[in-house]
């Protein structure tokens, strides 16, 4: 089983790391979430259905771990960098096809982190990870209409905040 997970880490580690960083407020908390996700995936691997894409199963574990761990600091609504290197690491992790400047992207991320957690999670999955409404609904175990409603509410708040600033 160790060989299987070594291969999965090679295949999906970078994408999982980006998801963790998108959900969390700093690299230390993202690293904790990354570790927790792999630990839970290994413990519950017997539940994985081979016909289901592994990355979606893994990302669902990550999102659920994020949602269910209220006590940890990566669920606080702030975007703090403890050092210049951490900020640079964050900026370097941004998608290459972004039309925003790094500074504008950081401001957008701050606005997103001000959203309530249930709105923030759907925004990250939809716009940062490019999941469909159906895939998000399946991951979060909520109706597709709820995902659409949360996305609409979140984008309205973001547009309003961007207009105010």
pLDDT at 143: 94
Those residues whose C-beta lies under 8 Å from the C-beta of residue 113, and which sit 6 or more positions away, are 25, 77, 78, 79, 120
Question: How many CB atoms are closer than 10 A to CB 69?
Answer: 15
* Element at 106 (helix H, strand E): helix 102-113
pLDDT at 77: 42
Closest CA to 25 of 84, 129, 106: 106
For 145-161, how does the pLDDT look when each residue is reduced to its tens digit (9 = 90+)?
Answer: 999 999 999 989 988 88
For 19-39, how does the pLDDT look when each residue is reduced to its tens digit (9 = 90+)?
Answer: 888 887 678 888 889 999 999
For 71-127, how does the pLDDT look when each residue is reduced to its tens digit (9 = 90+)?
Answer: 444 444 444 555 666 656 655 555 554 555 666 667 777 888 888 888 888 988 888
pTM confidence score: 0.60
Please state which of the four CATH numbers 3.40.50.800, 1.20.1250.20, 1.10.10.10, 3.40.50.720 is assigned to the domain occupying 2-164.
Answer: 1.10.10.10
- DSSP for 20-79? HHHHSSSHHHHHHHHHHHHHHHHHTGGG--TTS-HHHHHHHHHHHHHHH-TTSGGGSS--
The ranges assigned to domains in the chain are 2-164
pLDDT at 37: 92
Percent helix, strand and coil across the chain, each to the nearest 5: 75, 0, 25
């Amino acid at each position: 089983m160790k060989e299987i997970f070594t291969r999965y880490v090679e295949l999906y580690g970078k994408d999982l790391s980006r998801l963790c960083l998108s959900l969390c407020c700093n690299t230390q908390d993202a690293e904790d979430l990354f570790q927790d996700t792999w630990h839970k995936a290994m413990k519950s691997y017997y539940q994985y259905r081979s016909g289901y894409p592994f990355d979606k199963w893994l990302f669902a574990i990550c999102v659920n771990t994020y949602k269910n761990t209220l006590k940890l600091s990566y669920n606080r609504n702030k975007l703090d960098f403890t050092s210049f290197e951490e900020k640079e690491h964050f900026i370097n992790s941004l998608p290459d096809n972004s039309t925003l400047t790094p500074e504008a992207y950081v401001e957008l991320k701050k606005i997103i982190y001000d959203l309530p957690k249930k709105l923030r999670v759907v925004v990250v999955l939809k716009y940062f990870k490019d999941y469909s409404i159906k895939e998000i609904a399946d991951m979060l175990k909520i109706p597709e209409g709820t995902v659409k409603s949360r996305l609409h509410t979140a984008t309205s708040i973001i547009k309003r905040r961007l207009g105010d600033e």
